């Protein structure tokens, strides 16, 4: 094979780090690398809730891809992937263009799971992409304006559905944002109601008891009404219906009740299990030698029964191994098996508090919030070294992000 074509689908955590590692591992002229993403920016999914509440500038969360990659080593195509033809070794883009590949990396991430609950798809908001998160912020402002006209209290009732990490992070951000937003837009803050609904008996039920208590007290302190052990059964443009028969009038529901793999992979003619692409220990799609899959759209079994969770941490550990294995395959060398090492989890509650578990050490409050910042800075370092950390903290552009692609 003369100068193989490596094509990476998705410029999220998995795709971006695979590209950067290939830039490092490949010798000059050894392969052609193409990265395809539907936007020309890479959004930090782990901080999208900040876009929903406007507690961060656009460019702190959406980083220009052409500025991160080395254009001499990686060819970037801003386009939406429509399908993959594994027999012809081609990627089909929306618009009809076809991109041939010798090695393919599928890193197209997640979609929000709605479990077929009536009205969620149509009426609730998702923290899925920069665009979907920005829509939350615009909707809040719209409700503020309409409240000034009709004083309907449902316009100032904001519901976050799901008390997993995404849900509690969104609530924390709204707690931080609301006083300032209300002041800026002339809306009485004391009329704002924040409501969190969780089907399980507590928020973050999978976390230590003390972290649950800390989060619950944080909610109480900031007047967030927490409803537990109640599933949301329906969402209309004007209310949500809970399984105890209670209806909560609201115009804003942020749905954070779980995720699934990007459903586009169903169009690839590749194996799909539990909505994801099953991969072997080398991160290759089962029974394929030249297609790799990583991150939220990949199913990597950590043992016979359970798969690795959909986290950035997993995608970020898989990406370097994926890049290394592609280079090894090109050079006809032995591949490396992927081993996951869980480093811990930290979830923010606004900018000044967080809950976390790192090893056996429980973190909360300001220390937790500091640790969260360290984790985010570590990722920027991985992507662009100290210069990117500096730029994102001190030199970030205040230009709004131009959203062109859908979702």
* Euclidean distance between CA atoms 13 and 301, whole angstroms: 20
- Of 89-97, 181-189, 197-205, 284-292, which segment contacts ligand NAD by CB under 6 A? 197-205
* Euclidean distance between CA atoms 240 and 96, whole angstroms: 41
Specify the DSSP class assigned to residue 276: B
Give the dihedral sign, CA 179/182/185/187: negative
Size of the site for ligand NAD (CB under 6 A): 25
* Euclidean distance between CA atoms 201 and 261, whole angstroms: 26
Q: Which among ligand NAD, ligand FAD, none contacts residue 384 (Cβ within 5 to 8 A by kind)?
A: none
Interface with ligand NAD includes 275 (CB under 6 A)? no
- 80 flagged as catalytic: no
* Euclidean distance between CA atoms 155 and 84, whole angstroms: 44
* Euclidean distance between CA atoms 235 and 352, whole angstroms: 32
Helix axes 365-394, 312-330, angle to 10 degrees: 50
Range 336-355, binding ligand NAD (CB under 6 A):
345-347
Between 243 and 282, how does the x/- string for binding to ligand FAD read (CB under 6 A)? -------------------x-x------------------
Output the CA torsion 358→361→367→371 (10° steps).
Answer: -10
- Of 41-49, 180-188, 191-199, 216-224, which segment contacts ligand FAD by CB under 6 A? 41-49
Helix (H) or strand (E) holding 99: strand 98-100
Between 281 and 300, how does the x/- string for binding to ligand FAD read (CB under 6 A)? --------------xx----
Instruction: Specify the residue, 14 or 164, whose C-beta has the smaller distance to ligand NAD.
Output: 164
* Euclidean distance between CA atoms 350 and 402, whole angstroms: 26
Range 206-265, binding ligand NAD (CB under 6 A):
231-232, 256-259
Interface with ligand FAD includes 166 (CB under 6 A)? yes
Residue of 111, 126, 169, 239 marked catalytic: 169
Closest to 315 in 3D by CA, of 125, 127, 108: 108
Q: How far is the CB of 311 from ligand NAD (least distance, A)?
A: 5
* Euclidean distance between CA atoms 324 and 317, whole angstroms: 12
Interface with ligand FAD includes 313 (CB under 6 A)? yes
Q: How far is the CB of 359 from ligand NAD (least distance, A)?
A: 15
Residue ranges in contact with ligand NAD by CB under 6 A: 117, 161-167, 169, 197-200, 231-232, 256-259, 309-311, 345-347
Q: Which residues form the interface with ligand FAD (CB under 6 A)?
A: 10-15, 36-39, 45-46, 48-49, 80-81, 107-110, 127, 129, 166, 169, 262, 264, 295-296, 310-313, 315
């Amino acid at each position: 094979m003369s100068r193989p074509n490596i094509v990476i689908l998705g410029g999220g955590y998995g795709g971006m780090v695979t590209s950067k590692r290939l830039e490092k591992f490949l010798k000059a002229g050894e392969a052609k690398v193409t990265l395809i993403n539907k936007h020309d920016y890479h959004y930090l999914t782990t901080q999208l809730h900040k876009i929903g509440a406007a507690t961060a500038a656009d460019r702190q969360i959406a980083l220009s891809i052409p500025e991160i990659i080395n254009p001499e080593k990686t060819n970037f195509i801003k386009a939406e992937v429509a399908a993959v033809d594994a027999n012809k070794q081609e990627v089909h883009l929306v618009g009809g263009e076809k991109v041939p590949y010798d090695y393919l990396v599928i890193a197209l991430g997640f979609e929000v799971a709605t479990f077929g609950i009536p009205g969620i798809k149509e009426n609730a908001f998702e923290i899925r992409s920069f665009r979907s998160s920005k829509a939350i912020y615009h909707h809040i402002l719209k409700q503020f304006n309409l409240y000034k006209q009709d004083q309907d209290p449902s316009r100032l009732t904001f519901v976050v559905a799901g008390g997993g990490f995404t849900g509690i992070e969104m609530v924390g951000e709204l707690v931080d944002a609301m006083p300032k937003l209300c002041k800026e837009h002339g809306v009485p803050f004391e009329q704002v109601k924040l409501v969190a609904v969780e089907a399980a008996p507590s928020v973050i039920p999978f976390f230590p008891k003390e972290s649950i208590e800390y989060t619950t007290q944080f909610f109480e302190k900031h007047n967030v009404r927490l409803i537990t052990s109640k599933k949301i059964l329906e969402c209309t443009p004007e209310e949500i219906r809970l399984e105890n028969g209670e209806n909560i009038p609201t115009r804003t529901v942020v749905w954070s009740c779980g995720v699934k793999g990007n459903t586009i992979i169903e169009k690839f003619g590749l194996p799909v299990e539990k909505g994801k692409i099953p991969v072997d220990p080398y991160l290759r799609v089962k029974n394929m030698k030249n297609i790799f899959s990583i991150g939220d759209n990949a199913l990597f079994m950590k043992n016979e029964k359970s798969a690795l969770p959909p986290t950035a941490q997993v995608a970020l550990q898989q990406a370097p191994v994926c890049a290394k294995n592609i280079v090894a395959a090109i050079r006809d060398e032995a591949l490396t098996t992927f081993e996951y090492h869980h480093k811990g989890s930290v979830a923010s509650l606004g900018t000044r508090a967080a809950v976390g578990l790192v090893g056996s050490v429980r973190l909360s409050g300001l220390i937790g919030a500091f640790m969260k910042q360290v984790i985010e800075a570590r990722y920027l370092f991985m992507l662009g070294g100290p210069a990117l950390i500096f730029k994102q903290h001190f030199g970030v552009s205040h230009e709004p992000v131009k959203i062109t692609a859908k979702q």
